[in-house]
Structure 1
Amino acid sequence: MDDKNEQLQQEAARLALKVKPTEEEASEAPAKSQGGSKILRGLAKGIFCLMLSLLMIHVIKPMYYQYIDASAAQEMTDGQKQEAMGLPLKMTKPPRGKKSTWSREELRWMAFMDIKLDELKACVNKRNETGALEYNKMARDYNERCGEYYYNESDLKAVRLEVEQYRDQIKQKTREEVQAKGWDKPDKK
């Protein structure tokens, strides 16, 4: 029986040596685990930076540009807005409610606004309160100015032909404006 106990003790000691790491292996073990955690920390930092940059690109930057565009548009004169549309035609906003004979510049504004308001009506989402209010404000202003006026028929025909050349451009710029201001999407509730 002593032989068996002795054999079992020797076998246990041999197995313990296999399981028990040597001093060199013991000092390498923490280094290996630290190397793995360094990789994980580096990967986590990379993912964090990627998420932060995506947030900047897709959320913060568009909000900033929308704010800048809106504040710049409020400060623009009618001539500057016309230049932003890229139209070479000179236009002037006519006065409200006066029964006067309009110049070609005032008739151009009216023809331009006819096209713009039609496109706005088609593009603005009816469930977007801000867009609908702005459309109504522009339509009301147009109606107050264009309700009663006099014009030379030859001037009106010439102006309509001039502005008609730029119909697609006016529509495209109007769609871009609606999208930039977010009027093409319903309000978030």
Structure 2
Amino acid sequence: MKMADSQRIQAPRDTVWAALNDPEVLRQSIPGCQELVKSSDTDMEAKVQLKIGPVKATFNGKVRLEDLNPPESYRIAGEGSGGVAGFAKGGATVRLEADGEDATILHYDVDAQIGGKIAQLGARLIDSTAKRLAGEFFTTFGNVVAPQTDQAGGEEDSAEPEEAKKGWFGGLLKGKKDGAAEGEG
């Protein structure tokens, strides 16, 4: 299975690089990750519980960081075993591109092989699950690295008018009320 994509993260490249090397940030970001322990600067061990279709398994794996070129790129190589559910092994090349001073584009290319019971589920289910898990990882990773301003605002938010606090949902409701008023007559 091969997959490539990119994600814009609202944080400087050095901040994103540091987060990609922080086991706690990675643990929070990896869907189903129960444990992530860094055993050296380039080696980690992980325990991840995943559900792929009808198969639910806990994978124990090892991850190694290779071809380090801080703060621009590295390769993640890993393998994990889920017992009777099967195994997964592969890698990802991660490249960071500065997007101005305050943002970073994270590019990734993944190549993975799977075997055992999970391999029998079918390529379409596995591909869609892999894309969903990658999406969850990068959404969570982006929120951990660069929290949204409305979540990190603190006391400043309390000074905003009540309508502004409702955000897009308040605007949606306002639009429906305005539309209903225009349609009446």
Query: Structure 1-normalised TM-score?
Result: 0.26
- Report the structure, 1 or 2, having the larger helix content: 1
Bigger strand share: 2
Q: What TM-score, normalized to structure 2? A: 0.26
Which of structures 1 and 2 has the bigger CA Rg?
1
